Structure 1
């Protein structure tokens, strides 16, 4: 493309890392870009957990509106933050390869107990505001040990260092992308058999106007076919539940060398409940989707 591509992004360190990653890929392919920062509802409201905030698309709506007004040409999102249905006129033109998809439990050293559940001392206070994480934490600790945590990744870690929490749950990809030094803390990477990530965690979604010529450019430079298949399965379950980030659902696919997919799921009807956990196997993603919904909707089938 001859014209400069305008990339819309939130202003957090992680969002700007993601936008600059896409900018670099496009510019290396000969497409000049610039980044425009847009503040979203999720950035403005910091005193409420996500399940108490009104509406949907807390980190995406204002950016999508800017796309529809032709103020930007594409938007870079953490794919897990996107609604499962695009607003009319918009499309996900490309999805990235997956970064580390796991959750990371950061623990103050004085709260670390290597022999206990989640390596936490008795009564440890854990920070998170994600419905999925809260419901899965109920498997390991009491509800009164969970405390709301908001803010960007460095802010959350600083709150932990300042003693507001004994531990916090965050996405491993954010720490790795920002190359943050957490050596003063104990970092426990939670594999899906312990703690199931959010649908599409670790992927970037690049959103454009459907008929815009930039769609073809973005697809050629950035799109990953296997990533799309994995996202469609993980987020397809979320879509079937008519949900967004307020739904206590973990869904994670790992395709092994023999082509068989491991599909981990964790689900609770609400954040007040405790998430059930299961593992499905198969090569047929449509069948795995059906089996996942059957497991979720028929409690007697949960193991």
Structure 2
């Protein structure tokens, strides 16, 4: 099988992970690196880029053309609507779902929210993160940053910024040493992550029935259930990667589905929060959306 992937270190880690899983099933594969719009345009914030799916579209085009057999994406980068002819064949385990605040060691202030002083600069291009940061610590100054995980991290390491905010999943998968930084880990129930955060998605053609059957053992059922709720909320809110919307769903020990959501009209607007728990997924996303819009 030919696996389509972006060329960043994290994307390649994800593709190699899936490649190893396929090998365990006795399936040989090779990687094909594809540049996306999100990789090529580094000077604009995500909300300035055209359309949705700027980390996925070019890879999907190769999939539709038959140049590759499957694609590996970060689920949170994927639009909620699949292009005609494509489908999600499997979702991975879920890594640490949190957003981490990584602070230059000389800039951490004990006793302040997130250990950051008023006026501290924090790097992130995510409107969702900016909105929640402003709500939870109004004194912070969010600064747009782009680039891969090590590039963004370097902004805080060198002191160019006081801190940066990154997804824990990427840092853990890349095994990045953070011992020289102060790490703050907000709870995902307080600082609500992006829908699908920490999950890898394997996408293929709808009509590739044999390939879909081969990929089926890689699918994590519980992750599929929970991220389906998250992405249904995103879809119903008609949002893409740039919408200031966090949704996190988990299944508790009793089998109930618990959802936390945080939404703002824009990065400067007030954040509306919703918490719901139901014994079934039926109607759960709809109720979350009704409360967010209410």
TM-score by length of 2: 0.97
Counterparts of 1:138-157 in structure 2, within 5 Å, are: 138-142=134-138, 145-157=141-153
Partner in structure 2 of residue 210 of structure 1: 206
1:207-265 residue CA offsets vs partner (Å, 9 max, x unmatched): 00111121111112x11111111111000000011211011110001211111222110
- Which segments of structure 1 move beyond 4 Å, counting only runs of 4 or more? none
Equivalent residue runs for 1:215-234 within 5 Å: 215-220=212-217, 222-234=218-230
Q: In the TM superposition, what is the alpha-carbon distance from 1:274 to its structure 2 partner?
A: 2.8
Aligned to 1:77: 73
Determine the structure 2 residue equivalent to 1:108.
104
Counterpart of 1:92? 88
Cα gap change, 1:144/1:256 in structure 2, threshold over 3 Å: closer, same or farther? Answer: closer
Q: Deviations over 1:94-117 (max 9, x none)?
A: 011111111011011111122111
CA contact (8 A) 1:125 1:146 kept: yes
Q: Which runs of 5+ in 2 are unaligned?
A: none
Gapped runs of 5+ residues in structure 1? 299-303
What is residue 113 of structure 2 aligned with on the other side?
Answer: 117
Please say if residues 139 and 274 of structure 1, whose CA atoms lie closer than 8 Å, have aligned partners that are also in contact.
yes
The structural deviation recorded for 1:143 is 7.6
Kindly indicate whether the alpha-carbon contact (under 8 Å) linking 1:138 and 1:275 is maintained by their aligned counterparts in 2. Answer: no
Residue 144 of structure 1 and its aligned partner are, at CA, apart by: 6.9
Matches within 5 A, 1:188-207: 188-207=184-203
In 2, Cα distance between the equivalents of 1:142 and 1:263? 25
Q: Tell me by how many angstroms 1:289 deviates.
A: 1.3
How many positions carry a matched residue from both structures? 293
Q: Deviations over 1:186-208 (max 9, x none)?
A: 11112123200000101111000
Cα deviation, residue 270, structure 1: 1.4
Establish whether residue 38 from structure 1 lines up as the match of residue 34 from structure 2: yes
Q: Tell me which residue corresponds to 2:232.
A: 236
1:63 matched to which residue of 2?
59
Per-residue deviation, residues 36-66 of structure 1 (Å, max 9, x unmatched): 1001000011111111111111100000000
2:73 and 2:139 map into 1 onto residues whose CA distance is 31
Q: Closer, same or farther in 2 for the Cα pair 1:83/1:143, shift >3 Å?
A: farther
What TM-score results when the alignment is normalised by the length of structure 1?
Answer: 0.94
Aligned to 2:20: 24
Work out the CA distance in 1 between the residues paired with 2:19 and 2:177.
Answer: 25
Deviation, structure 1 residue 280? 1.2
Give the drift of 1:125.
Answer: 0.2
| Counterpart position of 1:168 | 164
